A and B are shown apart, each in its own frame.
Chain A
Amino acid sequence: MIQFDRVSKRYPRAGQDGLRGVSLEIPQGELVFVTGHSGAGKSTLLRLIPRLERPSGGRVVVAGVDVGQLPRRRIPLLRQRVGVTFQDHRLLADRSVFANVALPLEITGVPRREAARRVRAALDKVGLLHKESSRPEALSGGEQQRVGIARAVVNRPPVLLADEPTGNLDPGLSEEIMQLFSSFVSIGTTVLIASHDLELIERLGHRTLTLRQGELVGDRPPREVA
């Protein structure tokens, strides 16, 4: 589903290397953690997939499409098919939770009734159906993260990316959020989660990629779970 072929990313303005010669392959329906210290390149790796950044070398291929070579006007289509959640949630403060989650459906042109149905299904899935008319700022950090997840999955994208989804949540909540992500794997979604919560990652036992200063230094296969 996702292939990196000797991908590097250099930030021209800062002269910083985000990623250096990373090659990897993630099959469809797998959940993979990306870990490493702050500044190791986790966010950079994720951002290359929906073309939020363009690789400065190598090839990023998503669902058979060379993302780096994608013409500008086709980028929105790629982004519609890659759901992303952000550490800072990136929700619209002046719209209700419902409207925030409905945004991707508005973009793809899903009729209202159908959209309302899907939004409620997504909110139900993240357990926030009762908050649909609240404003994002009225929610806790964990709830906002879950609204972001609902928005990311409402279009049922084949790829789901999460950048530090448990960044500032307490351990109980973190585990809950991670379980939520795992549940999408069961319907065939490919999930990539950047996190430095090593203890939690270890406990869940999924495949784990480790980055250090932009290089891939570890690729631990999933632990066989009973």
Chain B
Amino acid sequence: MARRPERGATPRRRQTRAEARAQRKALRASRRSEAGAGASLLAGPLLYLFRHRQALTAALQRARGAPLHSVLTSAVVGIALALPAAFALTLDNAERVAGDWQDGAAQISLFLDRDAGPQTLREQAEAAAERAGVAGVEPVTPDAALEEFRAGTDFDAALELLDETPLPPVLVVTADRGLDPGAVAELAESLADDPAVVRMRLDQEWVERLHAIMTLAERALWSIGVLLALAVILVIGNTIRLTIESRRHEIEIVKLIGGGNGFVRRPFLYEGLGYGLTGGLLAWMLTELGRWSLAGPAHRLAATYGTEFTLSGLGPTNGLLLLLGGAVLGVLGAWTAVARHLSAIEPR
């Protein structure tokens, strides 16, 4: 098929020689087939590779024959895969943010009496540092707190109006990482019992709540993922079914002249694989596009919290997993169609 030599204009003499050669060869072949040898010249793994290359070529030819159809299917698959991927990414980034907060969240703020001087603050800090379950204590003087407040906001003008520091001295106690939320709460209570402490704040409840929400979101992600995977299988299955319908005549003829199920089936499976892979690739590109378009706003949001934060993408591992997932769903979808519709086509 590849080369098309100018054989049409072969001189007569060469044609007869070719004819004679063909006859000799045919004779040998017919003897060989009587001995039970197949007509195939390839064997074992070579034949296997040959068969798959053949099917791949056929699948590509078909895709080229119906480009719009193929592109649309890949696009639908890509979007269907991009949705759970984007959801997972969002969740992952949220978890990272929450994780950052959580590291500092096992922090107990002890507000001392406004009149307590730096001396008291230091003493209290040393006492708290002795306690079991305390990893570190940071005394924050009202002036230092004010500085920090100024750096983070634009309230300078408002603060100028106050003649004395509005903030109390604070001890920021960091609990041991190993403590569970219950133990942290207990520690906080006992620290607050000290008469020098006016008020205690433990930012823990919202962390727990956040965790519950994350768990819920993860569940939701799974069900959405499963549903969309099913959708991908159905979409690809349906596309392959249409291809089978449009090729019914060809399939009949192939079966008529001895094409086995494998031979007929393989190009369709490759077609499904192709939709899955291109869909997966498209989904990957879509998530990157989303990340790129959100990078600016995310950066600005992080800046208001005084932190550095970049949205993380899928990365090579998860990206390849997405491709693999698409591939598996593609082959599965093709298989559902092939299993139901191919065997129904019998040559007349």
| A residues with CB within 8 A of B | 52, 73, 76-81, 84, 90-92, 94, 96, 98-99, 102-112, 114, 116, 118, 120-122, 124-125, 129-130, 132-133, 151-153, 155-158, 187-189
Contact = CB atoms under 8 A, between A and B. Distances in A.
A80 B27 contact: no
B151 to A, nearest CB: 73
B15 interface: yes
Interface string B31-55: 1011000111110000100110010
Given A99-B1, A112-B2, A187-B30, A73 B40 contact: no
Interface residues of B, number: 46
Contacts of A102: 1
A163 to B, nearest CB: 12
Contacts of A80: 38-39, 257-258
A131 to B, nearest CB: 8
A133 B256 contact: no
Given A99-B1, A114-B41, A76 B259 contact: yes
B30 A76 contact: no
A73 B263 CA distance: 12
Contact of B18 (A76, A81, A121): A121
Contacts of A114: 41
A121 B25 contact: yes
Per DSSP, chain A at the interface is: helix
Contacts of A96: 1
Contacts of B15: 124, 129
B266 to A, nearest CB: 12
Contacts of B209: none
A222 B348 CA distance: 32
Interface string B1-12: 111100110100
Contact of A120 (B2, B7, B261): B7
A17 to B, nearest CB: 19
Contacts of A79: 255-258
B26 A108 contact: no
B61 to A, nearest CB: 10
A92 B251 CA distance: 10
Contacts of B2: 112, 116
Contacts of A130: 8
B146 interface: no
A109 B40 contact: yes
B167 interface: no
A103 B258 CA distance: 10
Given A92-B250, A118-B22, A124-B18, 13 more contacts: A76-B255, A77-B260, A79-B257, A90-B252, A90-B256, A104-B258, A107-B260, A109-B51, A110-B41, A118-B25, A125-B22, A151-B257, A187-B26
Contacts of A107: 254, 257-260, 263
A118 B18 CA distance: 10
Nearest to B57: A106
B226 interface: no
Q: Which of B7, B19, B27, B30 has the most CB of A within 10 A?
A: B30
Pairs A-B, 9 closest by C-beta atoms: A80-B258, A79-B258, A121-B22, A76-B260, A130-B8, A156-B29, A109-B40, A108-B39, A107-B259
B253 A90 contact: yes
Q: Which of A111, A133, A151 has the most CB of B within 10 A?
A: A111
A121 B30 contact: no
Contacts of A152: 257
B30 A110 contact: no
Nearest to B257: A104
Given A81-B33, A121-B21, A92 B253 contact: yes
